[in-house]
Every structure is written in C-alpha cells, then in structure tokens.
Chain A
Amino acid sequence: MSDERPDGDLRSLWDGLGPDDAVRLTPPPGLWDAIAAEVSITPAEQEHPTAPAVAPERAPAPVIDLDARRRRTRRLTAVAAAVVGVGAIGAGQLTAGSGANEVAAAVITSDGLPLAVDGDASAVVLDDDGRYMLELSVPAMPDADGGVWEVWVIDTAVADMHSLGTLDDDGRLALPAGVDPTDFPIVDISFEPADGDPTHSGQSILRGQLDF
C-alpha cells in the first residue's frame, strides 16, 4: 500500500526527524529590541502606528515569494546531475550603445548555493544613457532540463527582487525601467522550472554582489 501513496516525501522527512529538530533555543534578550529599532517600531513612534519603516515603494515588480523556492527540490537533483554545456555566454560582448559605461562589477560564484557550475563568472552593469544593462559572462551552464536559467537582481535585505529574464547566448539583459541597480546589488542566476510559477525557485547556481 505504501508504494501507492504520494506521501513519500513527508514520510521520508518524518523518518529523518530527530530530537534536535524539536529543540528550540531562546534568542538572546536584546534581539527583539534590535529588530524593533531597525524597523523603527519603537514606543517613541507610536504616533505613527500604521507607518512602520518598510521598503520604499518601487516600480511594479514581479511578485516573488521568497519561500516558494522549496517546492522544487526533487526535480533539481536530476538537473544538477545532467551537466551539458550550452556554450560560453556573453564573454566580452560590449555592443550596447556607444555611451554605455561600466558602473559596477561582480564576481559571481556557486559557493554555498544549491546548484553549482565550474568556472569563472562575472557580471557588470552598464549605464547606457540612464538605461541599465546587466552583462553576464558565465561558463558553459548545465542543461536547464525542464526549465530555464533565470537572472535576478536582489536587494541586500533579500526582501525584494526583479527578474531580468532568461539567460541566453547574448548574456545581456536590461534592468526594468526605474530599477536602480544600487538598490539591487545582488546578482543571482537560478534554475526555474517551466511550471508557470514566476517566483524565484531558490535553486540558485551563481550569485554575487555588485561593487559600485
């Protein structure tokens, strides 16, 4: 009977449950105060109780659920294993408008990420007369079987992000109008399965922070 059950993941998770997993440590006493101070929720500001310090309004952005990333781990195992080169991308192609200046650069790596690719990778931001472009130079990527490699820029709080689109042979992607790259200095490339879910899968393969 168990073979017919679709609950293998839950059962396997449950099977791996140890006593440690139910242990809860008490956060240090000052931690809440530090959080409250950082988001400006303090007794002194109660006169503005409905206006806690939230991120400033930005141009309409794709809605990203940061937690949506967890639902796809199974498929990624196969993807990560199937490393098939698709050719180096974008190296040294600087054909943006003649006024394009490099304003920031980042080394992007697979360190600590769920997926990995060997080789050097970098990203630069070009300012083409007020239009920002991200130019990527990446090694041969694994085959994004069943999905695409999607490029994101993320803020340092990891509270907001923008998709720049799919990594293609060009390696150059425009930032959405109104998006200031200094607000979104983290460059991230993730595997996104073709499942209609526009949110970040959490399955990142390359990431780095731009230096302005």
Chain B
Amino acid sequence: MTPSAPPAAVATPAAPSVTDDERDDLDRRFAAGDPDALRLAYDAHGSMIYTFCVRKVGSDRAPDVTQEVFVAAWRAQERFDPAKGGLAPWLMGIAKFRCVDALRRDGRHAPERSVGDEWSLADGSAPAGPEPASDPDTDRLADRMLLAEALETLDERARRCLELAYYHQLTHTEISAATGMPLGTVKSDIRRSLARLRYHLEDDLDPQTSDEGSAR
C-alpha cells in the first residue's frame, strides 16, 4: 500500500455542478431529440470536448473540430442510447474520431499537448509548437479526462473513499477504520461514486460494483 497520495485532479473545476438527475434528464432529452438538448449538452460538456480538441489538434483548429463534434453528435443523436452509457463519453468518442481525422487532413500526427504554464487558460491559446507528448494515445487522454470529470463531480468525502478503495485498494472495513466513518457511510459513498464513474467510463474500465471486491 503506497502511502503517497494519488495524482490529484486539481486546477480548474472540471464539471458543472449538476445532480445525477439533471444529468440523466439531459441525456434523455438529447436521446429524444429535444431541440434544447444540444445547447444544454454543449453547456455541460463543451469545455471538456473543446479542451480535448485543443490538446489533440491545437488551439487554432480546436474550435472547428469542436463544432464538428457537436454537429455530428446532433446528426447522430438518434443513435445515442442513455442505457448504454453517458452523453459525456459518447461525445468524447466522436471527438476522438474527429481529432484523428483532423490530424490526417493536416497530413500530420501531432503529439498530445499538455496544458502547461505557458498556456493561457482563459482564452485557450497555445504555444506555437506542439508540446512534447508524454502520452500520445488519444484513447488514454480521453479516458483520463473523463475520469477527471467524474472525480470532479464527487464531493471531497466520496472522492476520498473512492481513492482509498480503488486507488489504494483498501477494503471498506479498512476505509472505515482509517477515516473513522461508519461502514455504512463508506459503502454508500463508494456506491454513489462508482455510479458516477460508470457514467463516464467505458465498459472495460467499469469498476467493480459488488462489495465483495472490496471485502476480504
């Protein structure tokens, strides 16, 4: 068990503070083709998609690619099935495809950029040259951003429980002992946190949901 803290998802808050019900309501409205839903989806997920695009194709092209993502998403809106996953990962899937295509149109395959100190976060401007890639894998970047998004939606206590369970691999009982929280609270916090992660992440990253997994 490593005592060091996991990399914290810090910096600017990732997700707007919406309840699960509001989020699910948006997803249903989007799936139903509600004309307001695209605007709401853009408000909820536009900055994540835009940021992803900036990191993949650079700030010059990110607005165009982001536009392509939302237009394509709306045109494919009837394919979106909330029962199969959340709108955020669905949009991210389209964004990955569009970014790869944009890079191909350029005839280049730019490395992933990092959001460093030299970036102006307010206007999304980027340095002229691409940043060295620490992890060039598009899927990985998308998954990391989705995980960060999911974690940002958790309150501090729930996030801590999740970190202890899934990052530090503590059992529910150990978490209860370590934090002084009642076991039932630990379990409900983790259950709630896992639901958030499930919304944001792919099947193969779907964390185990049963209490058995965290009990010896």
Give the interface of A toward B (CB within 8 A).
Answer: 1-2, 5-7, 9-11, 13-28, 31-32, 34-36, 38-39, 41, 49-50, 52, 54-55, 63-74, 111-114, 157-160, 202, 207
CB-defined contacts of B12 to chain A, threshold 8 Å: 22-24
Q: Could you tell me the distance between the alpha carbons of A41 and B39 in the complex, rounded to whole angstroms?
A: 9
List 9 A-B pairs, Cβ < 8 Å.
Answer: A2-B169, A5-B169, A10-B197, A17-B9, A19-B11, A28-B63, A35-B42, A41-B39, A67-B93
Residues 37 to 58 of chain B near chain A (Cβ within 8 Å): 38-39, 42, 46-48, 50-51, 54-55
Q: Could you tell me the distance between the alpha carbons of A152 and B133 in the complex, rounded to whole angstroms?
A: 31
Q: Could you tell me the distance between the alpha carbons of A95 and B185 in the complex, rounded to whole angstroms?
A: 70
Q: Could you tell me the distance between the alpha carbons of A76 and B98 in the complex, rounded to whole angstroms?
A: 21
B48-79 to A contact mask, C-beta < 8 Å, 1/0: 10110011000000010011101111111111
Q: A-B pairs with the 9 shortest C-beta distances?
A: A67-B93, A159-B76, A22-B9, A25-B124, A22-B148, A27-B50, A21-B148, A159-B75, A24-B47
CB nearest to A50 among chain B residues: B35
CB nearest to B135 among chain A residues: A16
Q: Are B71 and A17 in contact (CB under 8 A)?
A: no
Q: Could you tell me the distance between the alpha carbons of A153 and B180 in the complex, rounded to whole angstroms?
A: 57
Interface class of chain B by DSSP: helix
B11-55 to A contact mask, C-beta < 8 Å, 1/0: 111100000000000000000010100110010001110110011
Q: How large is the interface on B (under 10, 10 to 19, 20 to 34, 35 or more residues)?
A: 35 or more
Q: Are B201 and A10 in contact (CB under 8 A)?
A: yes
On whether A32 and B46 interact (CB within 8 A), knowing A17-B147, A67-B90, the answer reads: yes
Q: Per a CB cutoff under 8 Å, which of B72, B115, B171 touches A159? A: B72
Q: Could you tell me the distance between the alpha carbons of A10 and B121 in the complex, rounded to whole angstroms?
A: 28
Q: Per a CB cutoff under 8 Å, which of A16, A55, A157 touches B144? A: A16
Question: CB of B187 within 8 A of chain A?
Answer: no
CB nearest to A14 among chain B residues: B167
Q: Are A7 and B208 in contact (CB under 8 A)?
A: yes
Q: Are B74 and A54 in contact (CB under 8 A)?
A: yes
Q: Are A39 and B104 in contact (CB under 8 A)?
A: no
Q: Are B74 and A112 in contact (CB under 8 A)?
A: no
Q: Are A14 and B166 in contact (CB under 8 A)?
A: yes
